[in-house]
Amino acid sequence: MKKEELARRLVRLASMMVAEDEEDDEIDAKFVEKVRELKRSLPRLASKKRRKLGQYGIGTLKGMNTVEDLVDALMKVVSG
């Protein structure tokens, strides 16, 4: 493989990686907005701390769930 061809492949690979990173930033921006919205709603959460999650339609949270799942569950509690 010639150096020029190798360089072109490396540049192509780098540009693909940058494109993937930009997609992740878009998703992260949405998640950050969810967390900010939850933060504004935290005072309402304190009064609901002794209620069961099932009352809000939330099933068992397991180790396989993501942090985003947890944020969504908390948003259900504060909105319900």
Rounded to the nearest angstrom, the gap between the alpha carbon of residue 76 and the centroid of all alpha carbons in its chain is 16
Please write the tens of the pLDDT for every residue from 17-70.
777 666 655 667 888 889 999 999 988 888 998 999 899 999 888 889 999 899
- Structure tokens of 78? 């504060």
- Structure tokens of 68? 């985003």
Instruction: Name the residue range of residue 56's domain.
Output: 3-79
Looking at the structure of the chain, the number of domains it has is 1
Q: Return all residues near 74 (Cβ < 8 A) that are at least 6 apart.
A: 38, 45
Please tell me the predicted confidence (pLDDT) of residue 55: 92
Please tell me the predicted confidence (pLDDT) of residue 22: 61
